[in-house]
Amino acid sequence: MKIAVLPGDGIGPEIVAEAVKVLHALDLRFEMEEAPVGGAAYEAAGHPLPEATLELAKEADAVLFGAVGDWKYDTLERRLRPEQAILGLRKELGLFANFRPAICYAELTHASSLKPELVAGLDILIIRELTGDIYFGQPRGRRESPDGAFRGAQEAFDTMRYSKPEIERIAHVAFQAARKRGKKVTSVDKANVLETFQFWKDVVTEVHAQYPDVELEHMYVDNAAMQLVKAPKKFDVIVTGNMFGDILSDEAAMLTGSIGMLPSASLNADNRGLYEPSHGSAPDIAGQGVANPLATILSAAMMLRFSLNQAEAADRIESAVKSVLAQGLRTADIYSEGTRKVGTRDMGDAVVAALRTQ
């Protein structure tokens, strides 16, 4: 098993080091190879996603990614900016399914944006389609308006589109994920207004025929946004398009407490994938040793489960994380009175210690 380790910028190297430490503590055989990405790669090689880094990511079974970006690169031309690295990796590796679990750990209920009784025990999974939709549809651009009341005025336009195979493959991913969880899929659309999402709804319904053991519900995106704050525990797996998924997954993140707790996975058709925390490079706290490494450690657990076929090791990491939280250890972002504040390294060490005493 080969893991490409791409720490990136800001807090990336600090949090990835802790995840690597935890992986080593599992006593499984991995080959891990590190390469620069993002601003770090721009400094080292003049490009945010150098050829050698891309090659490593392509040949590995999985990519463990930290974060990229820093304000100091804001003036670079777009193709050289650190964030292009993650877009390039998604495209080159064909990563079309983005998994974002939103889990509210009992000990962190108080940190949620919602009332404790609404989020206690929350465990939902948002699956966002990552390569289609209005973010990539052509044509797009600016022009003189060809018709209508504002004919001749400047206008801008994008194209929303999904092909049947694109919807089918993400629907299969969602139904298969639901089979391993609560056996319910909520497909989020805007079928009442958009042809693209009427089509989405039709195709998801067709695929559902192959999964009679999983319940399928359809929900309009505006209602889904409301239900996520009203009764989030009613969901199990949510599957939706690129734009709706972008928005709903950030909304769901706030149900759980801290962005420092949220892992993510982006998978391709061979179940190879890229695993990264949901947060960015946090330049405001970089180099201080205070960042929360748990999102990255939990991303490594997802990597074991989805790409490396090591579900048991994944369970071990997740229960070690629960146990350090139960012990009262907290990084600054999840600290509250009566708990013990620790830094990035101490948190990683505590997870390793918890693994050893399982």
Of 117 and 284, the one with the shorter C-beta distance to ligand NAI is 284
Instruction: Build a one-symbol-per-residue string for 243-282: x at contacts with Mg ion by CB under 5 A, - elsewhere.
Output: ---x------------------------------------
Binding pattern for the stretch 275-314 against ligand NAI, x by CB under 6 A and - elsewhere: -x--xxxxxxx-----xx--x-------------------
Residues 192 to 251: which contact Mg ion by CB under 5 A?
246
Of ligand NAI, Mg ion, none, which one does residue 70 interact with (CB within 5 to 8 Å by kind)?
ligand NAI
- Closest contact distance (angstroms) between CB of 128 and Mg ion is 9
Asked if 281 contacts 66 with a C-beta cutoff of 8 angstroms, the reply is: yes
In the complex with ligand NAI, the residue whose CB is nearer, 41 or 68, is 68
CA dihedral of residues 28, 31, 34, 38 (deg, nearest 10): -80
Q: State yes or no: 282 annotated in a binding site.
A: yes
Place of tokens 């150098």: 50
Chosen residue from 76, 134, 225, 259 binding ligand NAI by CB under 6 A: 259
Of the candidate spans 62-70, 120-128, 173-181, 322-330, the one that interacts with ligand NAI by CB under 6 A turns out to be: 62-70
Q: Choose, from 2, 58, 180, 222, the residue flagged as catalytic.
A: 222
Determine the distance from the C-alpha atom of residue 282 to the mean position of all C-alpha atoms in its chain, rounded to a whole number: 16
Closest CA to 3 of 13, 284, 12, 19: 19
Listed residue (189, 190, 161, 187) closest to 173, CA to CA: 187
- The Cα 17–Cα 34 span in angstroms is 11
Q: Minimum distance from CB of 69 to ligand NAI (Å)?
A: 2
H or E stretch covering 32 = strand 31-34
Size of the site for ligand NAI (CB under 6 A): 22
4 makes contact with ligand NAI (CB under 6 A): no
Instruction: Indicate the residue type of 308.
Output: L
SS3 label, residue 273? strand
Q: In whole angstroms, how close is the CB of 344 to ligand NAI at the nearest point?
A: 8
Q: Is 143 annotated as a binding residue?
A: no
Of 190, 211, 236, 275, the catalytic one is: 190
Does a cis peptide bond (omega within 30 degrees of 0) precede residue 139? yes
Is 288 marked within a binding site?
A: yes
81 binds, among ligand NAI, Mg ion, none (CB under 5 to 8 A by kind): none
Helices 311-326 and 344-356 sit at what angle, rounded to 10 degrees? Answer: 120
C-alpha to C-alpha distance for 325 and 235, rounded to whole angstroms? 25
Q: Which does 88 bind (CB under 5 to 8 A by kind): Mg ion, ligand NAI, none?
A: none
Smallest distance from Mg ion to CB 88, Å: 18
- Residue 250 known to be catalytic: yes
Residue appearing with tokens 């918890």:
354
**Angle, helices 344-356/294-306, rounded to nearest 10 degrees:** 40
CA gap 85, 81 in Å, rounded: 8
Q: Which residues bind ligand NAI (CB under 6 A)?
A: 11, 15, 67-70, 83, 86, 259-260, 276, 279-285, 291-292, 295, 333
